[in-house]
């Protein structure tokens, strides 16, 4: 008898769960986020009004609801790398932009991130990059995190590369990186070590200046 | 690249900063927007109706009229707007394509007018989005059919220079093309009819003999019928042989349904001729005569409707199959039930389940012969349920078949389906090509050397020395790629530099893979043996000798710990790499041009004669940057080979 009642109650629970899901979906599609005023954003970031306008137009075009969730983000980023699989790197990138860790990027987050990347000081950029690599946000980059990132970057290349990807190329890359960055050889890279090592590398500094005129 | 994401390109490029600390190599210089102007609104005046949009919106699709410089031809200086003398209603959907990336087909629009508009604005119809594509294709098919019907009346002009065989085949297939064909057509039709009637009349009892038994006409007038039969079969045999001779593909003809029917129609006669009047085989011989009735199917050559009916049945095979299957299920169920229900009653006809099958079939199809009837009450109840369900089961699939037939009959679709399959394949192929265009575009531009050598480690003086040179290059850059494309390619180039590997085409990847597997040459310099993928197709030995020399040309004062694995690819083929303004590269490309690589993969020693400077030369042309990274050509050129020379 108990079993019978049990199965009935399970059944009803199932039904209500399903309706809840439908409601949730409705809610999500109806939520539309509007960013703060243009002046406020202009004050908070290093962009001019025109640049913000252009950015917002592109943003709104791709995400009419005003927020980007991870799936859309991955899809957009994958369009630029048709050869390989950009989803892992896009995931890390998404987490780097999603400063409030709520699974979606609003226009303000997007613009703040871009402001750091394009108009920030060298220190800001390096800090941003450090936070990108530091997947678990503990203030240290260890080998595993770095390997993850490097692997994600190599995934974007896809299968057809020259020379062919043989052996554990990402691992070698990570070893080189740690050689350069880890000054006290304790197996992790802190923010200071990272900043100092990057500032010593002229090539890197020059490369970072490369993207100044992107907007 | 899709429309919307073009706006995200700045973001993707900014995010590339995340690769910088990981990269070991310097990054290439970014393409600059030489004529940088603020995004402006442009006015498109289409027959008086003004549309406005951002210039960037139109630039998303540079291979259409509005996206390329072709629209400048329509620029009106006085009014500062672009004037197009076209239909403004269709233009709406075309402009929406730029805005949203999806091309929709408006239903009220005439299909040929729409096609013309698309052709004018340089948009291929294959990118019509899926929501409207079916409609578009249907309308297009109807339209072409209508045009074809008009054309068919003019189709009977005989093309000249047909062989006798071709003429015959044409006469067989289209009887109204010549009088002889028509005569032949009617004669064969007549004889088919005669043959069928003969077979029928043969069995009619005619006349009585004194011993009070009706004998069929066939036995009474044996010789007459035999003569008729012989005549018909002779005509049919001659016809079959003539068709066989005239058929363009005899094997295919022999496999076709009509020829099988022909063979089956005439075989019994010949078999009958051969066989003796043996008692054992005469039974089988009689059975064979049944096959003579198949001659009636020869009429389908004469009747279009019969052919369509046959085609319908073939195409409705799944519905027919379903009907049969459901009927079988129901029959078995009801037969079982009836058998067990009637088991009790005495002298029941339902002796076994298979015996009950007959009752079930007769009841379900509402025939009701009455030779088997249930006697028990249970039997009667189930019997009535059986007949009711029979009506339902049969009534359900039949309308599907009927509607199928009417659709097919009206559209006469047989030839169209064959054509549609080809078109579908072509559409998918074209879409694949245009989608793959984005990924091959990068490889293409690499081949053309457009991404080359914009290295950050360029010596200072290079930049100062030749600003004109770079301007020229940039202009050439712009000529073939839009700014958006060049920025996208720069991004991909940065990724290559970060990972120290290059994108290649699938074909060349396999080539390279095979070659590295065979890399066993005794190398002259030990330092080279550790290189990866350094094998020319057949001249690796020789090219390795050269590598040391090339190596020297690549070292620059700025590259202190760089592991620069840059590959120099020389394309042995018709095309010279474009844009090679570096003199040493020019030298090499000239020489490669003179190679006859088509015959074999042999690269002559011409390459080796490239001046081999000593290892610390600075004679290495100062404006020779590290070798460019043109990739192997993505276009498959079966005769050519790619010589890969890598430098450490």
**Residues of B whose CB is below 8 A from A79:** 1-2, 5
The residue with greater pLDDT, B629 or B417, is B417
The residues near A176 (Cβ < 8 Å, ≥ 6 apart) are: B24
Q: Average pLDDT, whole number, for chain B?
A: 71
Highest mean pLDDT among A186-190, B316-320, B367-371: B367-371
Q: How far is B511 from chain A (nearest CA, A)?
A: 10
pTM: 0.47
**Residues of A whose CB is below 8 A from B498:** 153
Expressed in angstroms, the distance from the first to the final Cα of chain A is: 70
Paired with A44 in beta bridges are: none
Q: How far is A213 from chain B (nearest CA, A)?
A: 8
C-alpha to C-alpha distance for B342 and B254, rounded to whole angstroms? 53
Q: Check CB contact of B512 with chain A, cutoff 8 Å.
A: yes
C-alpha to C-alpha distance for B492 and B505, rounded to whole angstroms? 14
| pLDDT of B356 higher than 90 | yes
Optimal mutation site among B17, B441, B444, B562, interface A, most CBs of chain A within 10 A: B17
Highest mean pLDDT among A30-44, B486-500, B591-605, B606-620: B486-500
Q: What is the pLDDT of residues A157-215, one digit of tens each?
A: 888 787 777 777 888 888 888 888 888 888 888 888 888 888 888 888 888 777 777 66
Size of interface A-B (CB pairs under 8 A): 162
CB contact under 8 A, A169 and B501: yes
Q: How far is A6 from chain B (nearest CA, A)?
A: 36
Q: What is the pLDDT of residues B302-313, one digit of tens each?
A: 887 788 788 878
| pLDDT of B159 higher than 70 | no
Lowest mean per-residue pLDDT among B33-42, B210-219, B417-426, B539-548: B539-548
Q: Which residue of B has its CA nearest to A207?
A: B27
| pLDDT of B260 higher than 70 | yes
| pLDDT of B63 higher than 90 | no
Residue labelled with tokens 């018709």: B574
Q: What is the pLDDT of residues A73-130, one digit of tens each?
A: 888 888 888 888 889 999 998 888 888 888 888 888 888 888 888 888 888 888 888 8
User: The complex's ipTM?
Assistant: 0.77
CB B308 within 8 A of CB B415: no
Angle between helix B397-411 and helix B304-315 axes, rounded to 10 deg: 140
Highest mean pLDDT among B190-199, B619-628, B636-645: B190-199
CB contact under 8 A, B23 and A207: yes
Q: Which residue of B has its CA nearest to A75?
A: B5
CB contact under 8 A, A173 and B22: yes
- Residues 608 through 637 of chain B touching chain A, CB cutoff 8 Å: 631-632
Q: What is the DSSP string of A157-203?
A: H-S-EES---S-HHHHHHHHHHHHH-TT-SSEEEHHHHHHHHHH-HH
The residue with greater pLDDT, B174 or B91, is B91
**How distant, in Å, are the alpha carbons of B219, B221, B327 from that of B227?**
13, 10, 46
**How distant, in Å, are the alpha carbons of A4, A5, A6, A8, A12 from that of A1?**
5, 6, 8, 11, 17
Q: Which residue of A has its CA nearest to B18?
A: A129
**Residues of A whose CB is below 8 A from B507:** none
Q: What is the pLDDT of residues B386-445, one digit of tens each?
A: 999 998 888 887 887 788 778 777 766 555 555 566 667 787 788 877 776 666 666 766
Question: Encoding tokens for residue A190?
Answer: 């802190």
CB contact under 8 A, A164 and B499: no
C-alpha to C-alpha distance for B45 and B372, rounded to whole angstroms? 83
Q: Which residue of B has its CA nearest to A165?
A: B501
Q: How far is B431 from chain A (nearest CA, A)?
A: 15
CB contact under 8 A, B30 and A156: no
| pLDDT of A26 higher than 80 | no
For residue B272, the model assigns a pLDDT of 78
| pLDDT of B380 higher than 70 | yes
Q: How far is B133 from chain A (nearest CA, A)?
A: 23
Of A96, A61, A65, nearest to A76 (Cα)? A61
CB B612 within 8 A of CB B546: yes
C-alpha to C-alpha distance for A78 and B5, rounded to whole angstroms? 10
| pLDDT of A67 higher than 80 | yes
Angle between helix B222-246 and helix B164-173 axes, rounded to 10 deg: 120
CB A166 within 8 A of CB B508: no
- Sequence-distant contacts of B309-316: CB under 8 A, at least 24 apart: B309/B405, B311/B408, B311/B414, B312/B401, B312/B404, B312/B405, B312/B408, B312/B409, B315/B404, B315/B408, B316/B400, B316/B401, B316/B404, B316/B405
Expressed in angstroms, the distance from the first to the final Cα of chain B is: 35
| pLDDT of B590 higher than 60 | no
CB contact under 8 A, A161 and B23: no
| pLDDT of B385 higher than 90 | yes
Of A98, A40, A38, A23, nearest to A68 (Cα)? A98
CB contact under 8 A, A177 and B509: no
CB B383 within 8 A of CB B338: yes
Q: How far is B484 from chain A (nearest CA, A)?
A: 11
Paired with B644 in beta bridges are: B569
CB B447 within 8 A of CB B577: yes
For residue B379, the model assigns a pLDDT of 92
The residue with greater pLDDT, A58 or B460, is A58
Q: What is the pLDDT of residues B205-214, one digit of tens each?
A: 876 666 666 7
C-alpha to C-alpha distance for B345 and B350, rounded to whole angstroms? 9
């Amino acid at each position: 008898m108990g079993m019978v009642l049990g199965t009935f109650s399970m059944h009803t629970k199932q039904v209500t769960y399903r309706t809840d899901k439908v409601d949730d979906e409705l809610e999500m599609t109806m939520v539309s986020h509007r960013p703060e005023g243009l002046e406020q954003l202009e004050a908070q970031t290093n962009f001019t009004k025109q640049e913000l306008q252009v950015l917002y137009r592109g943003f709104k075009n791709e995400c009419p609801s005003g927020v980007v969730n991870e799936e859309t983000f991955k899809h957009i980023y994958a369009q630029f790398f048709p050869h390989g699989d950009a989803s892992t790197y896009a995931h890390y990138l998404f987490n780097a932009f999603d400063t409030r860790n709520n699974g979606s990027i609003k226009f303000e987050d997007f613009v703040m991130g871009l402001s750091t990347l394009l108009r920030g000081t060298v220190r800001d950029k390096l800090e941003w990059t450090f936070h990108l690599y530091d997947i678990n946000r503990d203030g240290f980059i260890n080998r595993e995190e770095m390997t993850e990132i490097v692997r994600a970057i190599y995934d974007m290349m896809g299968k057809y590369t020259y020379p062919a990807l043989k052996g554990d190329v990402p691992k070698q890359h990570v070893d080189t990186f740690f050689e350069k960055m880890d000054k006290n050889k304790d197996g992790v890279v802190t923010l200071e070590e990272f900043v100092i090592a990057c500032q010593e590398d002229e090539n890197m500094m020059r490369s970072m200046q490369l993207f100044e005129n992107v907007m | 690249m899709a429309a919307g994401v073009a706006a995200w390109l700045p973001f993707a490029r900014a995010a590339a900063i995340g690769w910088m600390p990981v990269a070991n190599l310097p990054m290439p210089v970014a393409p600059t927007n030489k004529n940088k102007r603020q995004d402006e609104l442009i006015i498109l005046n289409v027959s008086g109706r003004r549309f406005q949009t951002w210039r960037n919106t139109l630039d998303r699709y540079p291979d259409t009229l509005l996206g390329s410089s072709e629209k400048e031809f329509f620029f009106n200086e006085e009014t500062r707007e672009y004037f197009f003398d076209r239909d403004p209603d269709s233009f709406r959907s075309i402009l929406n394509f730029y805005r949203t990336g999806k091309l929709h087909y408006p239903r009220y629009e005439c299909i040929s007018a729409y096609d013309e508009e698309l052709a004018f604005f340089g948009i291929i119809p294959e990118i019509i989005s899926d929501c409207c594509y079916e409609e578009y294709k249907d309308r297009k098919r109807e339209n072409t059919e209508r045009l074809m019907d008009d054309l068919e009346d003019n189709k009977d002009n005989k093309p000249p220079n047909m062989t006798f065989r071709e003429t015959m085949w044409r006469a067989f297939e289209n009887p109204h093309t010549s009088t002889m064909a028509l005569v032949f057509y009617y004669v064969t039709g007549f004889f088919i009819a005669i043959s069928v009637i003969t077979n029928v009349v043969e069995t009619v009892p005619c006349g009585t003999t004194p011993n009070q038994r009706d004998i069929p006409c066939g036995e009474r007038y044996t010789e007459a019928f035999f003569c008729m039969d012989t005549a018909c079969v002779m005509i049919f045999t001659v016809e079959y042989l003539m068709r066989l001779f005239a058929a363009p593909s005899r094997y295919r003809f022999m496999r076709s349904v009509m020829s099988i029917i022909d063979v089956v129609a005439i075989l019994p006669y010949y078999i009958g001729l051969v066989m003796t009047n043996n008692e054992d085989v005469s039974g089988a011989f009689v059975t064979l005569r049944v096959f003579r009735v198949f001659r009636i199917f020869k009429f389908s050559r004469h009747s279009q409707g019969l052919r369509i009916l046959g085609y319908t049945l073939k195409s409705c095979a799944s519905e027919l199959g379903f009907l049969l299957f459901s009927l079988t299920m129901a029959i078995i169920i009801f037969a079982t039930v009836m058998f067990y229900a009637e088991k009790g009653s005495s002298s029941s006809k339902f002796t076994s389940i298979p015996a009950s099958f007959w009752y079930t079939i007769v009841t379900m199809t509402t025939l009701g012969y009455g030779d088997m009837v249930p006697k028990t009450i249970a039997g009667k109840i189930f019997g009535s349920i059986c007949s009711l369900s029979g009506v339902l089961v049969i009534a359900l699939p039949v309308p599907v078949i009927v509607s199928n037939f009417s659709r097919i009959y009206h559209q006469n679709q047989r030839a169209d389906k064959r054509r549609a399959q080809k078109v579908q394949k072509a559409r998918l192929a074209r879409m694949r090509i245009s989608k793959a265009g984005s990924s091959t575009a990068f490889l293409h531009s690499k081949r053309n050397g457009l991404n080359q050598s914009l290295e950050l480690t360029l010596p200072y003086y290079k930049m100062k020395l030749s600003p004109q040179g770079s301007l020229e290059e940039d202009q050439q850059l712009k000529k073939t790629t839009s700014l958006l494309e060049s920025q996208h390619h720069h991004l991909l180039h940065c990724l290559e530099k970060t990972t120290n590997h290059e994108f290649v085409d699938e074909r060349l990847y396999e080539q390279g893979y095979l070659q590295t597997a065979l890399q066993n040459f005794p190398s002259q310099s030990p330092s080279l043996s550790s290189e990866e993928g350094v094998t020319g197709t057949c001249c690796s030995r020789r090219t390795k000798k050269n590598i040391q020399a090339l190596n020297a040309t690549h070292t620059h004062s700025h590259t202190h710990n760089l592991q620069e694995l840059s590959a120099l690819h020389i394309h042995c083929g018709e095309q010279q790499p474009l844009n090679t303004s570096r003199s040493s590269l020019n030298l090499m490309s000239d020489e490669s041009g003179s190679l006859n690589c088509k015959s074999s993969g042999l690269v002559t020693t011409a390459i080796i004669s490239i001046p081999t400077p000593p290892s610390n030369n600075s004679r290495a042309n100062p404006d020779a940057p590290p070798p460019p990274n043109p990739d192997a050509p993505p276009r498959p050129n079966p005769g050519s080979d790619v010589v890969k020379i890598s430098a450490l």
